Chain A
């Protein structure tokens, strides 16, 4: 028996594949599938949102988990906001197919939200910055504009689509879904710029209808602290158009519609 020592010329057990190329192909393919599915299902949700009746929306809202305490009675701030909503409604300034209720949540967050079922959540951080009733009506009108345009249902639909896709990926592995989830979250914070602009326009119209002028419409954006201005951090991280842009758009819109400005009504916030 002859033994001829020789090493194999080629390593058959390791594929000659460039790992970076493999990563690009796999990640690109996965992202492409997700993006296409997300866009298609997202559009589906948009179309469905337009067809959900106010009754179904109420039903839908009642089964959704709700993370704010809405059962507290006799909150003075809430009562004040509800009076403003009623005022808007009495003057027929915001035609919504269902009643709107306002909840005040004690928090430093300077924001307000429109939730399914005609619920507006206003954080006390925002209330504390309000200097006139007009300004507050503009904010409420903005949220009502989201109801009018059914933005809250659309974002709910898109949220569901996102949850669905991430669950699908999550079942096969954790970390990739985590990665993609994080990146989608950055692009999916609330409403789109178009939706915000449309809600701004609705709010402007409401404001003019209630007071006969649009004084105070841009105050809110001016009172926003500089560090909360999304333009300050880079607008990729926020769905709100930068405050300056919104002020400019509102001024241009008032000019176009021939709205005038007038004296603002003082806002007296109840003390805690």
Chain B
């Protein structure tokens, strides 16, 4: 009975607090994405500028770790039984990817473009049997290109 109450309250906590945190995170993401709109991050390896205009290049990377809450985990577990798209994890991955991209861009605010951008994800603490509440990391990295100032 006590276990049931604990599980239910953790799930409720996960739902209420989790969606509040997610909402706040998304509004922060949208705001910063707007700020960095002028800095494109692309996946091509070639720098679309003539070599003479390049002042410097550097490696930039951003990583973000987002945790699963009990509510999302419950939904995913139920989905595991029936099969189908695990929609409850989609926002976690989306937030992690966008946050890591933003953090990457924040390292090079002066750059004109970031090329060769890659995003990688990995699960953290997935196999701990006792508290199998996992979290995931998204790591975004690329080459930031700064141009020579033009008159």
Interface residues of A (CB under 8 A from B): 1, 3, 5-7, 11, 13-15, 17, 19-20, 22-23, 26-27, 29-30, 169, 172-176, 178-179, 182-183, 186
Q: Are B79 and A26 in contact (CB under 8 A)?
A: yes
Residue in contact with A26 in the complex, picked from B1, B48, B75, CB distance below 8 Å: B75
Chain A residue nearest to B92 (CB atoms) is A14
User: Chain A's nearest CB lies how many Å from the CB of B105?
Assistant: 12
Task: Please measure, in the bound complex, the distance between the C-alpha atom of A26 and the C-alpha atom of B81, giving whole angstroms.
Answer: 9
Chain B residue nearest to A5 (CB atoms) is B37
Residue in contact with B71 in the complex, picked from A7, A19, A26, A173, CB distance below 8 Å: A19
User: Chain B's nearest CB lies how many Å from the CB of A9?
Assistant: 12
Q: A26-B81, A169-B81, A172-B81 are in contact. List 4 more A-B contacts (CB 8 A).
A: A7-B37, A173-B80, A174-B132, A175-B77
Task: Please measure, in the bound complex, the distance between the C-alpha atom of A14 and the C-alpha atom of B79, giving whole angstroms.
Answer: 16
Chain B residue nearest to A182 (CB atoms) is B4
Task: Please measure, in the bound complex, the distance between the C-alpha atom of A183 and the C-alpha atom of B34, giving whole angstroms.
Answer: 49
User: Chain B's nearest CB lies how many Å from the CB of A189?
Assistant: 12
Q: Are A22 and B75 in contact (CB under 8 A)?
A: yes
Q: Are A182 and B37 in contact (CB under 8 A)?
A: no
Chain A residue nearest to B72 (CB atoms) is A19
Q: Are A26 and B78 in contact (CB under 8 A)?
A: yes
Q: Are B87 and A17 in contact (CB under 8 A)?
A: yes
Instruction: Please classify how large the interface on chain B is, using the bins under 10, 10 to 19, 20 to 34, 35 or more.
Output: 20 to 34
Chain A residue nearest to B129 (CB atoms) is A174
Q: Are A7 and B80 in contact (CB under 8 A)?
A: no
Assuming the contacts A3-B40, A7-B33, asked whether A27 and B90 have C-beta atoms less than 8 A apart, the reply is no
Contact with A along B79-107 (1 / 0, CB 8 A): 11110010110110110010000000000
Chain B residues within 8 Å of A26, by CB: 75, 78-79, 81-82
Query: Nearest 3 A-B pairs (CB), nearest first?
Result: A26-B78, A5-B37, A15-B87
Task: Please measure, in the bound complex, the distance between the C-alpha atom of A3 and the C-alpha atom of B88, giving whole angstroms.
Answer: 34
Chain A residues within 8 Å of B38, by CB: 5
Q: Are A11 and B94 in contact (CB under 8 A)?
A: yes
Q: Are B85 and A14 in contact (CB under 8 A)?
A: no
User: Chain B's nearest CB lies how many Å from the CB of A15?
Assistant: 4
Q: Are A176 and B37 in contact (CB under 8 A)?
A: no
Residues 47-94 (chain B) with a chain A CB within 8 angstroms: 48, 71-75, 77-82, 85, 87-88, 90-91, 93-94
Q: Are A14 and B7 in contact (CB under 8 A)?
A: no
Residue in contact with B75 in the complex, picked from A13, A19, A174, A182, CB distance below 8 Å: A19
